[in-house]
Structure 1
Amino acid sequence: MLAILAAILPVFIVVGFGYVAVRYNLFADSAVEGLMKFSQNFAIPALLFRAMSTLEIGAAFTPSLFLSYYGGATLSFLVALLGARLLFERPWEDSIAIGFSGLFANGLLLGVPVTEQAFGPQATEGNFVIISVNSLYCYGIGITAMEIARARRSGGTLSQLPGRVLKAMFRNAMILGIISGLAVNASGLTLPVFFTDALDLMARAALPAALFGLGGVLCHYRPEGDLRTIALIVLASLFIHPATTWFIGTVSSLPEAGFRSAVTMAAMAPGVNTYIFANMYGTARRVVASAVLIGTAVSLFTTWAWLTLLH
C-alpha cells in the first residue's frame, strides 16, 4: 500500500502545483495553453522517441501480451463510448473523447513505477513493450473514430476517410516520435551524443510539464453535472480494462512476467494523453480532465486490490 501511495502521490502534488498557481494568478491561462502545446508537440514526442530508439526488441514482443492488454483497452473504449452516447446522450465527438479515456491508461507515469515497486526493476520489460505501440494504437483508434464522426457531421464521404486519418495521424507529433524512434532502433543507427543529450533534456520535462498544465486546466473545469460520465470512465478504465486483460491473459496462457505487467498497466487511471486528445479536438475537456484526477485518486485503492490478486 505504501509503495503504491509513493508512486501516485507525486502525480497529485505536481497537478496541485499547477492548480494553485493558476487559482492564485501566479500562472496565466495563456501560459497553461503554451505549456500544454510544449508538452504535446515537443517534450512528449522527444520522450517517446528516446524510449523507442533504445528499447530492446526481443522475446517480450509476444502476441498474447498485446492481445490481453489491448483487448481489454478496446472493450473499455467501447463501453465508455457507447455508454456516453446511449445512456447520457452526449454528441458523438464527446463520446469518442470519453471512450478514449477508457482506452488510454496512464502506463508510463504510473504503470511502470508501480510495477517496479511491486515486482522489482526487472519486471518492467513487458510494460515498455506495451508502451512501444500504445500511442500508435490508441491514437489510431481515437483519430479514426473522431474523423468518421466529423465526416458524418460535415457530410463528407467515407472515400475521404483514409486520407483524413493518415493526415491527422502524421500530423500528430507523438506518433511521429514513436515511428521515428522505432525506425532508428530497427536500423541500428547510432545518433550523436550531443543530439540524444538534447532530446533527454526535453524528455525529462515532458511529464512534469503535462501534469502541471493539467492542474491549471482543472482550475477552470469542474465535475458538476458530469459525475455520471466520470463514473463511467472510472468504471471502464479501472475495472473493465484490467478484468478483461486478466481474462484474456489467463485464456491465452500469458507468461507470468507479461501477465503481471499487462494487468498492472491495465489497472492504471486514464493518462494525461486523454486530456491532450480531448484538447486536440476541443471536445469533452471538462469531463476528461476531471476523470484523470478522480480516476487517479480512486486508483490508489483499486490498484492495491489488483496487486493483491496478482501477488
Structure 2
Amino acid sequence: MLASLFVVLPVFGLIGLGYLARGTRLLRESTGEGLSDFVFVLAVPCLLFRTLAKADIPPTQPWGYWIAYFSGLAVVWVLAMLIAGRCFARKGPELVVSGFAAAQSNTVFVGVPMILKAYGDAGAVPLGLLLAVHLPVTMTVATLLAEGRSASIAMLLRRLFAHPIIIGILLGSAVRPFQAQVPQPFWTLIDLLAGAAVPCALISLGIAMRRYGLESGLALPAVLSALKLGLHPLLVYGLAVHVFAMPAHWSGVAVLFAACPCGINAYLFAERYRQGVADASSAITLSTLLSLFTTAAWLTFLGVG
C-alpha cells in the first residue's frame, strides 16, 4: 500500500500545486487555459510524434494481447457514454469526455512505474507495445467522435488533418522508417516539448479543480472511476487469462495498465472543447485517490504485490 502511495503521490503533488497557486492567486485562471492549450497543441503532439517514431513495434503482432486490452477499453467507453447520456443528461462532446475518462489510463505517472516495479524487465516489452498505441488510438477515437457528429465527410477530413493530435500521429508514423537519420538537435527539441506535457497538464488540472470544484457532483465521476478501476481491468483479465493464450507477465501488464486511474488527456480534451471539464477533472482526481487501494488489490490478486 505504501508503494502505491509513493507512485501516485507526484500526481497529487502537481495537481495540488496548481490548486494552491490559483487559490493564493499566484496564477490567474487564464493561466490554466493557456497551459492546457500549450499541452494539447504542442506538447502532446510532440509526445505522440516521438512515441510513434521511436517505438519498437514487432513485425508479428500479438493479436490476442491487443484484442484483450482494447475490447475491455471499448466496452467501458461505450458504457460510460450510455450512462452519462441516459442518467446524467450529458450530450455532444460531454459524452465523449465521459467515455474518454473511463477508458484512457494514466500511464506516465501511475502505469509505467507500477508495472515496471511489478514485472521488471520482463514487463518492458508488453508495456512498450501498449504505450506506443494506447494514446494514439484513444485520442483518434475521441476526436472522431467529437468532430464527426455534425460534420460532413469533407469537413470531418479537414478538421482531422488540421487537428494537432492527428498531425502528431501522422508525422510520427511518417518519420518512423528513417528516424535514425533525423539530427539529434531536432530530437532534443521534441524531448523538451514532450517532457513538459505531463507536469503542465497536471498543474492546469489543479487550476481547473479550483475553478470548478465538484460542480458536476460526485455521482458521474464515481461511476467513471468505478468503470475505469473496476470493470476495465476485470474485462481485460477475463480475456487475457481465460480466452487468449499469453505469458502471465503479458496478461498481468495488460490488467495493470487497465487498472490505472483516469488519464489526464480526458481533461485536456474537455478543455479543448470547453465541455465536460468538471466531469473530467473530478473523475481524474477521484480515480487517482481510489487507485491507492484498487491498484494494491490488483497487484496482490496477480501475485506481484
**TM range, normalised to the smaller chain?**
over 0.9
**How many aligned positions are there?**
302
- Confirm whether residue 171 of structure 1 aligns to residue 162 of structure 2: yes
Equivalent-residue separation in structure 1 for 2:273 and 2:177 (angstroms): 33
Q: What displacement does 1:171 show? A: 2.6
What is the match of residue 239 of structure 1?
230
* Partner AA of 1:48 in structure 2: L
Residue pair 2:54, 2:179 contacting (<8 A) in 1 also: no
Equivalent-residue separation in structure 1 for 2:160 and 2:106 (angstroms): 21
Equivalent-residue separation in structure 2 for 1:107 and 1:80 (angstroms): 20
Which consecutive unaligned segments of at least 5 residues does structure 2 have? none
| Residue among 264, 269, 281 paired with 2:256 | 264
Equivalent-residue separation in structure 2 for 1:292 and 1:52 (angstroms): 25
| Residue among 291, 297, 302 paired with 2:294 | 302
Q: What displacement does 1:91 show? A: 2.5
What is the match of residue 207 of structure 2?
216
Query: Judging changes above 3 Å, is the alpha-carbon distance between structure 1 residues 35 and 288 closer, same or farther for their aligned structure 2 residues?
Result: same
Q: What displacement does 1:282 show? A: 1.6
Query: Judging changes above 3 Å, is the alpha-carbon distance between structure 1 residues 246 and 34 closer, same or farther for their aligned structure 2 residues?
Result: same
Equivalent-residue separation in structure 2 for 1:60 and 1:97 (angstroms): 33
Residue pair 2:37, 2:272 contacting (<8 A) in 1 also: no
What is the match of residue 52 of structure 1?
52
Query: Judging changes above 3 Å, is the alpha-carbon distance between structure 1 residues 289 and 11 closer, same or farther for their aligned structure 2 residues?
Result: same
Query: Judging changes above 3 Å, is the alpha-carbon distance between structure 1 residues 140 and 200 closer, same or farther for their aligned structure 2 residues?
Result: closer
Q: Identity of paired residues, percent?
A: 31
- Confirm whether residue 185 of structure 1 aligns to residue 176 of structure 2: yes
What is the match of residue 147 of structure 2?
147
**For each residue in 1:26-61, what CA deviation from the matched residue of structure 2 results, as whole angstroms up to 9, or x when unmatched?**
011122211111111112222222222222122684
Equivalent-residue separation in structure 2 for 1:171 and 1:287 (angstroms): 27
Query: Judging changes above 3 Å, is the alpha-carbon distance between structure 1 residues 225 and 47 closer, same or farther for their aligned structure 2 residues?
Result: closer
Higher mean displacement: 25-34 or 46-55:
46-55
| Residue among 274, 287, 293 paired with 2:266 | 274
Q: What displacement does 1:222 show? A: 1.8
Equivalent-residue separation in structure 1 for 2:64 and 2:115 (angstroms): 19
Q: What displacement does 1:19 show? A: 0.6
Residue pair 1:217, 1:289 contacting (<8 A) in 2 also: yes
Equivalent-residue separation in structure 2 for 1:90 and 1:48 (angstroms): 29
Query: Judging changes above 3 Å, is the alpha-carbon distance between structure 1 residues 164 and 66 closer, same or farther for their aligned structure 2 residues?
Result: farther
Residue pair 2:14, 2:202 contacting (<8 A) in 1 also: yes
Equivalent-residue separation in structure 1 for 2:77 and 2:182 (angstroms): 38
**Secondary structure of 1:37's partner?**
helix
**Secondary structure of 2:196's partner?**
helix
Equivalent-residue separation in structure 2 for 1:297 and 1:172 (angstroms): 32
Query: Judging changes above 3 Å, is the alpha-carbon distance between structure 1 residues 5 and 215 closer, same or farther for their aligned structure 2 residues?
Result: same
* Partner AA of 1:309 in structure 2: F
* Partner AA of 1:262 in structure 2: A
Correspondence 1:1-311 to 2 at 5 A: 1-58=1-58, 61-149=61-149, 151=150, 160=152, 162-250=153-241, 251-311=243-303
**Secondary structure of 1:268's partner?**
coil
Q: Normalising by the residue count of structure 1, what TM-score does the alignment of the two structures yield?
A: 0.91
* Partner AA of 2:189 in structure 1: A
Equivalent-residue separation in structure 2 for 1:119 and 1:101 (angstroms): 26
* Partner AA of 2:210 in structure 1: C
**Secondary structure of 1:120's partner?**
helix
**Secondary structure of 1:185's partner?**
helix
Alignment RMSD: 1.9
Residue pair 1:107, 1:271 contacting (<8 A) in 2 also: yes
**Secondary structure of 1:270's partner?**
coil
**Secondary structure of 1:78's partner?**
helix
Residue pair 1:112, 1:124 contacting (<8 A) in 2 also: no
* Partner AA of 2:301 in structure 1: L
Query: Judging changes above 3 Å, is the alpha-carbon distance between structure 1 residues 294 and 52 closer, same or farther for their aligned structure 2 residues?
Result: same
